[in-house]
């Protein structure tokens, strides 16, 4: 039995359990969302799909939208599988169709539209929601990517060594934005370190950028064997250049300096390799 079928069956079992024990409520769903990070990686896709389907049973309104949007922020942590991502996207799309959100005072779409557009653009998930606000969100993301494509920076690492993005042409560069207080950032650090140490010889550069003060970062890294250079971004100026509005965020540039892939949340080792393959990185031992 393949992984997706196993996850689907588990989700259906959990949904059936809800039917037996009673209708899910806003309060019970909120509690499930709050405990989602404590669910094992193996069980999390099924648990997430279950929550998405429970949210759909709620009456339309802002409380339902709040839950759907909270779930979409969690589903991108790691690799839940396409079916789970689609279930969460469908739930938010349905909720926005029921409860359209007004345009912000500055003319930008509400954050829920931006979140759904990100899932579509960066995770390859489809949405049936047809709304002018979604079109605006898509245009904003395209413009942001164009800004990242031409961005450059010079930052110092913890030892004062300078790194300039444009001077790394000829290498594959993964730019990772993170923070010590961010659990998903911490979770992906082991994989980032492993990939960096094994593929540095192929011209891979990984830089981890944080806007925290050096003492906070130094204390956090003490005793950890983390090899990628950690760059200091006082005031988060480079993060603003890259339109980083959540952590972690990762961007991959090929040897010509072209932006070829980006992630809006935590990635697994497999997902990082998929991103890096778009820049031409060849796994060790492959032909």
Looking at residue 204, the DSSP 8-state letter turns out to be E
The pTM score is 0.89
Interatomic CA distance for residues 252 and 245, integer angstroms: 17
Taking a C-beta distance cutoff of 8 angstroms, is the pair 140, 108 a contact? yes
Whose CA is closest to 264, among 138, 75, 93?
75
* Three-state DSSP class for residue 158: coil
Q: Give the pairing of strands 162-164 and 154-157.
A: antiparallel
Domain ranges for the chain = 3-146, 154-277
pLDDT confidence of residue 82? 96
Mean pLDDT of 62-79: 97
Ramachandran bin of 12, using left for φ above 0, alpha for ψ from -120 to 50, beta for the remaining angles? alpha
Contacts 24+ apart (CB under 8 A), 198-201: 198/284, 199/276, 199/281, 199/284
Mean pLDDT of 49-68: 98
Interatomic CA distance for residues 44 and 71, integer angstroms: 12
What's the pLDDT tens digit per position in 218-272?
Answer: 999 998 999 999 999 999 999 999 999 999 999 999 999 999 999 999 999 999 9
Q: At the topology level of CATH, where does 154-277 sit?
A: Glutaredoxin (3.40.30)
Interatomic CA distance for residues 230 and 145, integer angstroms: 23
pLDDT confidence of residue 17? 46
């Amino acid at each position: 039995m393949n992984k997706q079928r196993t996850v689907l069956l588990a989700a259906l079992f959990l949904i059936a359990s809800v039917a037996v024990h009673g209708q899910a409520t806003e309060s019970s769903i909120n509690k499930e969302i709050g405990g989602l990070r404590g669910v094992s990686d193996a069980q999390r896709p099924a648990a997430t799909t279950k929550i998405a389907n429970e949210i759909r049973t709620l009456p339309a309104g802002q409380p339902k939208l709040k839950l759907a949007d909270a779930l979409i922020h969690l589903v991108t942590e790691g690799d839940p599988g396409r079916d789970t991502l689609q279930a969460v996207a469908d739930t938010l799309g349905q909720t926005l169709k029921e409860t359209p959100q007004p345009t912000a005072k500055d003319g930008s779409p509400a954050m829920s539209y931006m979140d759904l557009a990100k899932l579509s653009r960066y995770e390859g998930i489809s949405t049936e929601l047809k709304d002018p606000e979604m079109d605006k969100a898509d245009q904003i993301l395209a413009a942001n990517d164009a800004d990242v494509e031409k961005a450059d920076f010079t930052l110092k690492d913890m030892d004062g060594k300078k790194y300039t993005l444009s001077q790394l042409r000829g290498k594959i560069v993964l730019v990772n934005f993170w923070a010590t207080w961010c659990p998903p950032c911490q979770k992906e650090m082991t994989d980032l370190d492993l990939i960096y140490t094994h593929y540095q010889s192929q011209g891979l550069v990984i830089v981890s950028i944080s806007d925290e003060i050096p003492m906070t970062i130094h204390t956090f890294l003490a005793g950890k064997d983390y090899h990628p250079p950690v760059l200091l971004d006082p005031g988060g100026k480079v993060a603003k250049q890259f339109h980083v509005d959540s952590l972690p965020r990762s961007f991959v540039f090929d040897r010509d300096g072209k932006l070829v892939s980006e992630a809006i949340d935590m990635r697994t080792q497999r997902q990082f390799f998929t991103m890096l393959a778009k820049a031409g990185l060849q796994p060790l031992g492959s032909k």
